[in-house]
Amino acid sequence: MTQLCLANHHGNIMGIFISLFMLLGCQQQPINQASVENNSQLYAFGLPGEQHLAKLPEIGHSVKKIGCYADYTTWVFARNSGIRPGSDFTILSSQAIRVIRTPESVIGTATILSYSSEKILAVTCAHVVDFPDTIYTYHEADITGEPLIYTVSIKRSQINYVKEVPVAGGLTILAMDKQSDLVLLGGTLSAGLEIPPALPIKIGDSKKITEGNRAWVFGFPIGYMMMTEALVNGINVDRHGSFMLDAVFNHGFSGGLAITFNVPDQQFEVAGFGRSAPSSTQLVLTPAGTPGIDKYAPLEPYTDKVFVQQRSELAYGLTFVTPSNALINLIKINKDKLIAEGYDITFLEEKPNK
């Protein structure tokens, strides 16, 4: 790859030699350990060699789409039922004007960290699997100013499912850090079935990531596998050491794997996990059920019930990343529990160059 240099010359031989010299001087040099040591930098700003880039698909094979499904039962109460926060709605449930099933689902991205003889360990964002046990909505407050309960939704079941991972009943939550937005998932492998590969690279030191470092990101935006390149554009954006990438974030990308290239060791390392993008929230009126011309004739007036729905619009082009050190801390805090339950955490140790 050659950068263009602007130079004035007069067409003589000396000018040609000078131009050639300048062009050669602008030739991008391969990243090497000496240049990093001189600049006190660990992770690469430029592209590694083709032999390293060829390993990206292998790394991506450990990144999988995760679907999380929660089944709720919802009781709907009229305003004159007078059910308030703190009321025993199970006793008063006979006053519900209707009881409905309200399933919820989220698609995200999970990375397989390791296998033991029987167990699988994976990581994703906490908000992907963190369905609340109980959800309330409210009528307007009464004359006393106290809100009246409109609906109560109780979670009956939840499954965290990765299609390629043979775990009966799905992955269970082993440990969660809501502040860093990370969760460890695990389960017992079904015997005799093929399993996808675990992450083949080590967990890097996110404290040494600097602005301008080059990164690669793997995830499932809108449910489709994507691998893209990005640059670090902000570091320590919160007290957890999170940083930002100029990668395009979309629904389903939460938990996406971000990696960087360690120049002295000549290997890729985990830098963090994509979790969110800036967004704005709007309230919109929507018809009952799933709107769309396949359900409602667009030329006919709509006369059924109308609901208020909250929608978020993403500010594309910027992704917030939970740093790899947050994962290391979460594993170390739960080290004894994970080992006792048969999970392999030796991937925290140095992995040899491949």
- Mean pLDDT along residues 19-34: 41
Report the distance separating Cα 297 and Cα 4, nearest Å: 58
- Mean pLDDT along residues 294-321: 66
Distances in whole angstroms, Cα of residue 299 to Cα of each of 286, 288, 293, 294, 296:
17, 17, 9, 12, 9
pLDDT digits (tens, 9 = 90+) for 29-59: 444 444 444 445 899 999 999 999 999 999 9
What residues pair up with 34 in beta bridges, in sequence order? none
pLDDT of residue 277: 56
pLDDT digits (tens, 9 = 90+) for 223-265: 899 999 999 988 888 888 899 998 777 788 899 999 999 999 9
Alpha carbon 288 to chain centroid, angstroms: 31
> Domain locations in the chain?
50-278+315-348
Closest CA to 74 of 159, 160, 147, 156: 156
Confidence of residue 139 (pLDDT cuts 50, 70, 90): confident
Comparing 254 with 311, which gets the higher pLDDT? 254
Domain 50-278+315-348, CATH 3.20.190.10 — does that match? no
- Percent of the chain at pLDDT exceeding 70: 77
* Helices (H), ranges, the chain: 13-25, 33-38, 50-53, 56-60, 89-92, 126-129, 324-333, 335-340
- Minimum mean pLDDT among 90-99, 139-148, 215-224, 313-322: which range? 313-322
pLDDT digits (tens, 9 = 90+) for 60-74: 999 999 999 999 999
**Dihedral pair phi/psi, residue 95, rounded to 5°:** -85, -5
